[in-house]
C-alpha cells in the first residue's frame, strides 16, 4: 500500500504536528503501508520525511520516495530510498507541482493532510483526494474534534 502527504509550506506548533505524524505513520505502517511518496517542498513535507526516517529505523521495509516535479533539477536526494518522475514532460513548468501532486494522490491509497485553510496548493491537493474518494487522515479533523 502507498501513502502520500499534502500540507502547507509553513506549519505552526511543529512539535504537535510531529507527534501526530509519528502516530499516524506508525499506524499506517502497521496497516501495511510500505511506500511513502513525499514532495520535498516546505515545512510539512520536511517534517513528514524526518518522521519517516525515524520510523525507518524500526521499520526498514518502508520506502521513502521523493516525487520530482521537475526532471532537470538538482535536488538533494539523500535521506530518500529513491526518486520518481511522473509523466510530466508535456506539462508547462508553472503547473508541474500541481500535476505532480495530483499524480501522487491518484497513485496512493491514503493521503495524510495538514491543511488548515481552503486556499493554496495543499488545499487543492486535498480537494483532489476527496474527489478521488481517497482515504484521508487529516490533522485538521484531529484538532477540530
Cβ-proximal residues to 8 (8 Å cutoff; 6+ apart), any chain: 42, 43, 44, 114, 115, 116, 120, 122
pLDDT grade for 142, boundaries at 50, 70 and 90: low
Say if 112 falls within a structural domain. yes
pTM of the predicted protein model: 0.93
Average confidence (pLDDT) over 106-128: 95
Say if 114 falls within a structural domain. yes
15-43: pLDDT as tens digits: 999 999 999 999 999 999 999 999 998 99
- CATH for 109: 3.40.50.450
pLDDT grade for 75, boundaries at 50, 70 and 90: confident
Note the pLDDT of residue 78: 87
Say if 102 falls within a structural domain. yes
Say if 35 falls within a structural domain. yes
- Domain holding 15, by residue range, is 2-140
Say if 145 falls within a structural domain. no
Say if 61 falls within a structural domain. yes
Say if 39 falls within a structural domain. yes
Work out how many domains the chain is built from and give that number: 1
Amino acid at each position: 500500500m502507498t501513502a502520500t502527504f499534502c500540507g502547507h509550506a509553513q506549519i505552526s506548533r511543529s512539535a504537535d504536528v510531529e507527534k501526530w505524524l509519528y502516530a499516524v505513520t506508525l499506524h499506517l505502517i502497521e496497516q501495511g503501508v510500505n511506500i511513502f511518496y513525499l514532495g520535498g517542498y516546505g515545512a510539512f513535507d520536511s517534517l513528514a520525511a524526518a518522521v519517516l526516517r525515524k520510523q525507518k529505523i524500526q521499520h526498514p521495509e518502508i520506502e521513502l520516495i521523493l516525487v520530482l516535479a521537475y526532471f532537470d533539477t538538482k535536488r538533494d536526494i539523500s535521506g530518500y530510498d529513491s526518486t520518481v518522475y511522473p509523466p510530466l514532460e508535456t506539462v508547462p513548468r508553472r503547473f508541474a507541482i500541481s500535476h505532480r501532486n495530483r499524480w501522487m494522490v491518484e497513485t496512493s491509497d491514503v493521503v495524510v493532510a495538514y491543511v488548515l485553510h481552503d486556499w493554496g496548493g495543499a488545499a487543492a491537493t486535498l480537494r483532489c483526494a476527496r474527489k478521488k474518494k481517497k482515504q484521508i487522515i487529516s490533522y485538521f479533523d484531529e484538532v477540530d474534534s
